[in-house]
Structure 1
Amino acid sequence: MMDRRSVVKAALVTGAGAVVAACTGGGGSGGGTDGAAPATESRPVAKLTAQPAVDAHDAAVLQPVTVRVADGRLTDVKLTNADGHAVEGSFNTDRTVWTSSEVLGYGKTYTYAASATGTDQKPVQLAGSFTTLTPARQIRVTINPGDDAEVGVGMPVSVKFSSDVQNKAEIEKALMLETSGHVEGSWGWLSDRQVDFRPKEYWPANTQVNADAKLYGIDLGGGGYARADVTTKFTVGRSQVVKIHTPDHVMNVYRGGAKVNSYPCSNGLDSDVNRNTPNGTFIIMTREPHAIFDNARYGYTNVNKKWACRISNHGEFIHENQDNAAAIGKVNNSHGCVNLLDADAKEFFDSALIGDPVEITGSRLAGPVNSDVMDWLVSWSAWRGKSAL
C-alpha cells in the first residue's frame, strides 16, 4: 500500500507526462489517464492504553488501574468486575487519563470498555480484560486494643498474624500510628506472628491513639497476603501503676504518681525460685471476676478464685485468696501469684484497666521473656533492636 507521500508523487509524475505529450504533438488521440490515483483513508491518530494491559495476569491489587489516551480525549471508561459491577474511578481535568479509586480483589477478572475521540475527530476503542493475583494463602490479621477501648498507660499496640510472615520490613512500613500528643516509641517483633508498638516510657495519660495496619495487597512472604487491612482507635486512661517489692509483702498502687492504696499481699514462695513471683514490668492482661486455677505439678486443680487480674502468660495473677489470709501481709507462700484479701482484691479489681503496669522487684526469678506480652521486660535499646527497620 502506498503512503500519502507516494500518492502525491505519482500524481505529479502523471501530470508532467501529460504536459510533455501535449508539447511534442504527434499523431493519435493524446488521451492519457485523467486525474490522480485514489488516496487510502488514514488511521485514527488517538491511541488508547491501559495498565494493567489487556490479557495481563497476576496484576497487583493495590496498583490503581489507569486508562490513557494520546492525541485525543476520553469519552467513556468502564471497568467492571466479575459480578458486572462498575469499579469507581475518575478522569483527570483534560480527560486524557482515567484512574480507578477502588482496591481490587484477589484472583478476580476485570473487563475494560473504553472509548476516546482523537484530535482528528475519529473514535477509538479499547476492550478486553485482565486478572489479579491469587495468593497462595490469605493470612488473617488482628489488632489490639480494639476500637473505643480505654486502656492503661503500659498497653502496647499488638498486630498478630494467623501464620508466620517473612517480609517484616515491608510489613512494618505499612504500620501507621497517630497520637494526640508526641509519643516516642517503636515497633518490635516478638515472633514471626506478632509485632507490637510500645512507647519508650509509659503512654501519657489521656492520649488518643489511631493505629492502621495497611497490609492488604502486600506480600507478607511465602505467597501469603493479608485478607484485609485492620485499624483501631482507642484512648489511654488515667495513669495507674502497681509496684510490688516482694520481700515487703505489700502491693502499692500509684495514680498520677501519688500513692492511693497499699494492700497487704502474699507473693510467690521465696525458698523455691520456680514459685517466685517474677521480677519485671508486666501489664494487666485480663480482668476475670472468677478464675479457675490448675497446677498438677503442685497438686491442685479446679481452684476457683475471685477478682483475678492476669499479669503474664506464665501463669501469674493478682487475685483474692481469702483461704490464705493468715499469710497475707506476712509470708510469701503462693505458687507465683499475688494473693490479696477479698475486700482488697475487689477494690483493686474495680480500679484496674487492661494495660496498667505492674512493676515487681525483689525476686530471684527473672521475667519470662518468651511470653507474647513481654514488651516492658526488655530495655528500650533492646526493644528498638526488635524492629525490622
Structure 2
Amino acid sequence: MQDTKSRKGLIAAAIAVVLVLGGGIGAAFATGILGSSGSDSSASSGPSESPSVKAAPVSITTTPGDGAVGVNPAVLPSVTATNAVINQVILKPQSGGDTVPGILAADKAVWTAGAPLAFNTKYRLEVVLTDTAGKETTRRQGFETVLPANEANAFMYPQNAASVGVGQPIDITFSEPVTNKDAVEQAIKITSTSGQTGAFFWLTDQHVRYRPETFWAANSAVTVDMQLFGVDFGNGMIGNFNETRTFNTHNTRLAVVDNYTKTMQVFMDGQLVRTFPVTLGEPTWPSPSGYQVVVSQHEKLPFRAESIGLKPGDPDYYEPFDASWASRLTNSGVFVHQALDGALGALGRINVSHGCVGMSAEGAKYFYDNFDAGDVVQVLNTEAGPVPIHDGYGDWNIPWDQYAGQQP
C-alpha cells in the first residue's frame, strides 16, 4: 500500500511540476482559442506600412489653346496650372529662335508671356509642372499666329519730318477694309505743339483723313502715334506695325483767286505780298470753288486732253503740251500753271482754261517757288461748287460739325 501511495504521490508531483513550468504554454494556447483581451501589446503583430500619397489631378489652361490657328501675336500667351506648380515654361518658334520671355506669378500657378509674338509663326509650348505628390510632369502644346493673308498695313502722308503747309490733312490709307473703325481710331493718337485737336473723317473703309477745326497753326509740330500692332481691323485682319511720325508746318501761305477780278492775291502770314492776273475755267469747264490744297508740284508736266475725258474731234479737245510750273490742286486735273502763249491775252480779262488757274510765266513760277504741299488756294465766285473731299484735299470745304460728327 505504502509503495502504491508513494508512486501516486510522485506522479502527482510530476504533473504539478509540468503544470507550473508549462503555465505560459497553456496561457498562450488558451489565448489563441479564446482571443486576446487587448491589454497586452506584446501580443500584437509587427508594425503596419504607411499608405502612399495620392496626387490631385493636374491640369493646365492655356491661352491660346492647343492647336489654335490665326492667333493674334499681340495677345500675350498664358498658362494656368491646377493642382500643381509651374517649374518652367518654354515658348519658342518651332523652327528655332529665341525663347519668348515670361513672368511667373508668386504662387507659381500662372505664367504670362512678357513680349508679343511674331506673325506667321508656329510656336511650341512646353510646361514643366510638379504635382501635389512632388512628381514632375511635362505638358506640350502648339499654336500658329496670323498668316500673311490676314496682316493689315497702313500708309500715311505726310512723311516723317516733312515740312508742309497749314492746310495739309493727315491722310491714311489701309491695306485692308476697316470695319472696327472705333478700335483703329483709338489706336492712333494725334497731338500738336499748338494744342489743336481734330477729328477723323472716313472717305472709304480703307481711307481716312484727320484735320483740326481750323488750319494747323503755323510753325508747329504734329505727331501721329500709330499703335496698330495687333489691332483687329475686322474681318479677321490684324494690324502688323507700330509707328510714330512727326511733321512740321511752315509759315501760313494763302492764295486767294477771285473770278470777279480775275486775280490771285498772295498772302504770307496774313500780309498781302503780290497780286497776279489769272484766267480760270471757261463756262463749260468752270473752275471749282472753295478751298484747295497744293498736292504736288512739277517744273514740267505733260498735259493730255485724254486725261480729262476728251478725244480728238471733241469741241474742247486740245493738242498735247507740257505745262510749266505746274502745281496740282485736285486729282481730277486742276492746276496752277503757266498759261499757253495763246492765252496770255486772256489773263485778268476772260476765262479760257479747262478749270485750271492760268498765270503768266512770272506768276506761275512765283507760285511754284513760294508755295508747297499743304499750302492753301481759295477760289471765289466761280460757277462751280467746291472741291469734294475725295478730289485732292477738299476736307476744308466740309463744315466742321459735319466733319467731326461723322459716325465711324
Q: Name the TM-score class by shorter chain.
A: 0.7 to 0.9
Deviation at 1:63, TM superposition (A): 1.0
Match for residue 187 of structure 1?
A: 200
- Where 1:278 maps in the other structure, the secondary structure is coil
> Matches of 1:327 and 1:217 in 2, distance apart?
58
- Where 1:178 maps in the other structure, the secondary structure is strand
Matched pairs, number: 363
Q: 1:143 aligns with which of 141, 156, 177?
A: 156
> Matches of 1:139 and 1:91 in 2, distance apart?
29
Does the Cα contact within 8 Å between 1:73 and 1:94 map onto a contact in 2?
no
- 2:168 matched to 1:127? no
- 2:233 matched to 1:233? no
Match for residue 325 of structure 2?
A: 307
Deviation at 1:141, TM superposition (A): 1.9
Deviation at 1:372, TM superposition (A): 5.4
Moved more, 147-156 or 250-259: 250-259
- 2:51 matched to 1:39? yes
Match for residue 346 of structure 2?
A: 327
Which structure features the higher share of helix residues? 2
> Matches of 1:355 and 1:24 in 2, distance apart?
106
> Matches of 1:350 and 1:117 in 2, distance apart?
75
Alpha-carbon spacing, 1:322–1:59, altered in 2? closer, same or farther (3 Å):
closer
Does the Cα contact within 8 Å between 2:200 and 2:209 map onto a contact in 1?
yes
Match for residue 379 of structure 1?
A: 399
- 2:370 matched to 1:351? yes
Deviation at 1:46, TM superposition (A): 8.6
Can you list the C-alpha shifts for 1:238-275, whole angstroms capped at 9, x where unaligned? 11122111221111121211112222211112xx1x41
Deviation at 1:304, TM superposition (A): 0.4
Moved more, 346-355 or 110-119: 110-119
> Matches of 2:134 and 2:273 in 1, distance apart?
82
| Amino acid aligned to 2:37 | C
**Structure label with greater radius of gyration:** 2
| Amino acid aligned to 1:36 | S
| Amino acid aligned to 2:368 | F
Match for residue 185 of structure 2?
A: 172
Does the Cα contact within 8 Å between 1:48 and 1:116 map onto a contact in 2?
no
Does the Cα contact within 8 Å between 1:140 and 1:228 map onto a contact in 2?
yes
Deviation at 1:151, TM superposition (A): 0.7
Does the Cα contact within 8 Å between 1:143 and 1:232 map onto a contact in 2?
no
- 2:267 matched to 1:254? yes
Alpha-carbon spacing, 1:299–1:157, altered in 2? closer, same or farther (3 Å):
same
Moved more, 360-369 or 226-235: 226-235
Alpha-carbon spacing, 1:24–1:307, altered in 2? closer, same or farther (3 Å):
closer
Alpha-carbon spacing, 1:338–1:308, altered in 2? closer, same or farther (3 Å):
same
Can you list the C-alpha shifts for 1:313-369, whole angstroms capped at 9, x where unaligned? 121001112512222222221111111111221122111121111111110100242
Can you list the C-alpha shifts for 1:140-164, whole angstroms capped at 9, x where unaligned? 4211111111111011111112343
> Matches of 1:145 and 1:95 in 2, distance apart?
50
Alignment of 1:47-66 (within 5 A): 49-66=61-78
Q: 1:196 aligns with which of 193, 209, 219?
A: 209
> Matches of 2:305 and 2:371 in 1, distance apart?
26
Match for residue 294 of structure 2?
A: 284
Match for residue 381 of structure 2?
A: 362
Identical-pair percentage? 25
Alignment of 1:66-145 (within 5 A): 66-68=78-80, 75-91=87-103, 94=106, 96=108, 97-115=110-128, 123=136, 125-134=138-147, 137-145=150-158
Structure 1 spans left out of the alignment, 5+ residues: 1-19
Does the Cα contact within 8 Å between 2:164 and 2:249 map onto a contact in 1?
yes
Moved more, 339-348 or 159-168: 159-168
Alpha-carbon spacing, 1:258–1:95, altered in 2? closer, same or farther (3 Å):
farther
Alpha-carbon spacing, 1:244–1:21, altered in 2? closer, same or farther (3 Å):
farther
Match for residue 357 of structure 2?
A: 338
> Matches of 1:301 and 1:136 in 2, distance apart?
46
| Amino acid aligned to 2:47 | G
Moved more, 121-130 or 342-351: 121-130
Can you list the C-alpha shifts for 1:89-121, whole angstroms capped at 9, x where unaligned? 342674845433433234432112344667987
